[in-house]
Structure 1
Amino acid sequence: MVGKTVFVTVGTTHFDALIAAVVEEATLKILVERGYTNVVLQIGDGKVIPKEHFEGIELSYFRLKPSIAASFAAADLVISHAGAGSCLEGLEAGKPLVAVVNDTLMANHQTELAEELSNHGFCIFCYPSTLQSTLANLDIKQLKKYVPGNPKLLAQHLDSVIKLMP
């Protein structure tokens, strides 16, 4: 099926609430209405196994791969858990990002990261319970392009500081 693709990633563990929210009939209807025809889910070691088809949209899943760079590259939209690695990989791939916070985690850094990225206009963030309304109101044109930092600049700065030291 040719059309737009959504890539959903939970990272290296599991986030069943996110997968369950994505594969709900109402969520899939919203995606179909927005022109998406494929949903690829990286489910980690989760227990929620998606169906393969919903009217107008094909679903596929995998657990883990050595690299998911190709999945990011093929996506028109990324829905990711709000872990730092997954968010940055999606943004560095130049994809519109919906970061979904796992609010069941203790000492949750995900909220802070997702809020910060959202405040700077790089992503939209939500929770599994608000995913449908977020997707229904999503305007990816409002998102800013993320430009990764240049680690060489830091190295050059450190080199200059070290040269000045006695």
Structure 2
Amino acid sequence: MVNEYRRCFITVGTTKFDLLVDTIMTPLVLNSLKKMGCKVVTFQIGNSNFQPGIYDKEGIQINVYRFKDSILDDINSADLVISHAGAGSCLESLEAGKPLLVVVNEELMDNHQIELAEQLQVDGHLYYCTCDTIETTLEMLDFSMLRPFPKPDPTIFLKYLDDVLRVKPKSN
């Protein structure tokens, strides 16, 4: 059985990423989401010029808002997350075990976000694309090929601290 991604959560974070907002709202991208089974999109748009509200486009209900104290409830209730490449959004989505497509903002100067997205894709935890390639990327994704993100292991950090802080005896 093919997975259906009925509920999609999309986030641009706290910045302005109008290109992603505008791209998502195109009929081509919305139809790609619809082919995946998407019925409802919850869309956090940050400081975008787009207006918050409830929209019905291409047969998908789109609930648009700017900010919340936490997006974790939206992530947890989603079947698919599409996110900007911010570390917080990526890690929250991966820790929640959600299929994740990261869209890199190529307009950012000194873009460290692409490094994070590339490494997490190489490690097999997510897919990434740009606004120019999101439609074709959505058409060919197979989230079943992704590996779960590892759970945090605090013992690694504790061992490191023990090694660093261990007082070494003075030699005579």
The reply to whether TM is greater than 0.5 is: yes
TM-score, normalising length: structure 2 = 0.89
Residues 48-67 of structure 1: per-residue CA shift (max 9 Å, x gap): 23760023210001111111
**Conserved? CA contact 2:10–2:42, under 8 Å:** yes
Are 1:5 and 2:7 counterparts? yes
Which one of 103, 111, 114 corresponds to residue 108 of structure 1? Answer: 111
Question: Aligned pair count?
Answer: 164
Tell me what 1:45 maps to. 47
Q: Which amino acid aligns with 2:18?
A: D
Which one of 76, 82, 92 corresponds to residue 85 of structure 2? Answer: 82
Q: Partners in 2 of 1:45 and 1:148 — Cα distance?
A: 32
Q: Partners in 2 of 1:152 and 1:18 — Cα distance?
A: 39
TM-score, normalising length: structure 1 = 0.92
SS at match of 1:52: strand
SS at match of 2:68: coil
Which one of 23, 47, 53 corresponds to residue 21 of structure 1? Answer: 23
Structure 1 unaligned spans of 5+: none
Q: Which amino acid aligns with 1:58?
A: Q
Q: Partners in 2 of 1:129 and 1:144 — Cα distance?
A: 26
Q: Which amino acid aligns with 1:75?
A: A
Residue 43 to residue 162, structure 1, CA distance change in 2 (3 Å): same
Are 1:67 and 2:62 counterparts? no
Tell which structure's C-alpha radius of gyration is larger.
2
SS at match of 2:75: helix
Equivalent pairs: percent with the same residue?
A: 44
SS at match of 2:166: helix
